[in-house]
Copies of this chain bind each other. A is one copy, B any other.
């Protein structure tokens, strides 16, 4: 049995095989509609997240499976002092697989150690959110036809944004990538990302302040939200939140086939006039998220692809 706690828990080869499966699902969803019949997914959300929770639930329902769980900690036994270790042992009696979001870093990892069912980390604090990384990579591959030799810009809050950290770490395993890190000084990417993941492999990167200067060079622009809840004081938030807003007029500086990604929800960092630009890929990401979660659930449950007769990778 395997879990998915950190994006690097699966190799790039395995990730690619998951994406292949997601592509097949996208092309023929009806072929997969009963694959997980009678299986149950538990969604354990100690912190609310409509998008991610409902994406997992839609994925499981699309596979013919069933869903139970809780949408926030207030309706869970956490309020009675139960540990995640005990909770997952209980949930192991109720479901075949679990997706857990938790405000505390490491909680899903700890749960996985006591679990009798596969655990998927659906986001733990500022730490990891591996299915977001998978859907980001799937969207990039679909838009550009490859996951190598790409120049990728990350823009906005690169300090607290876990989706950015995870995606950089994952893409650092691909050939010929170049990263342009666009942020205010206060929100630069943490040094450990650079020292542990980019420099050892001599992956080219540059840290810049101006979105507009960077735009012409990018194959992919990954925008992020400046999350109010990550700031310690209101003043810093107000000063920085309007930095790095992408507008249709700025987009004129970009390549015609660049793709704009965003983990959502957005507040105002991408203006509404960008939504109809063909480069906007952020709602495609949502759809791809369902497909890649379907692929992941199938794989962790050991369910064979009815088209190929194989599992994406062994668990």
Binding site for B on A (CB under 8 A): 33, 38, 40, 42, 45, 48-51, 54-55, 57-58, 61, 66-72, 74-77, 79-82, 85-87, 89-91, 93-95, 225, 227-229, 264-267, 272, 283, 286-287, 289-290
Given A48-B74, A71-B70, A75-B48: A93 and B266 interface contact (C-beta under 8 Å):
no
Q: In whole angstroms, what is the CA distance A68 to B48 when docked?
A: 15
Are A54 and B80 closer than 8 Å at their CB atoms?
no
Given A51-B90, A265-B86, A286-B90: A68 and B61 interface contact (C-beta under 8 Å):
yes
Q: Assembly of this chain: how many copies?
A: 3
CB-defined A-B contacts under 8 Å, sample of 11:
A33-B38, A48-B76, A50-B70, A50-B75, A54-B69, A55-B93, A58-B68, A58-B93, A82-B267, A85-B272, A93-B283
Given A50-B87, A93-B290: A66 and B61 interface contact (C-beta under 8 Å):
yes
CB contacts (< 8 Å) of A81 on chain B: these are 228, 265, 267
Given A54-B69, A90-B51: A265 and B80 interface contact (C-beta under 8 Å):
yes
Are A82 and B266 closer than 8 Å at their CB atoms?
yes
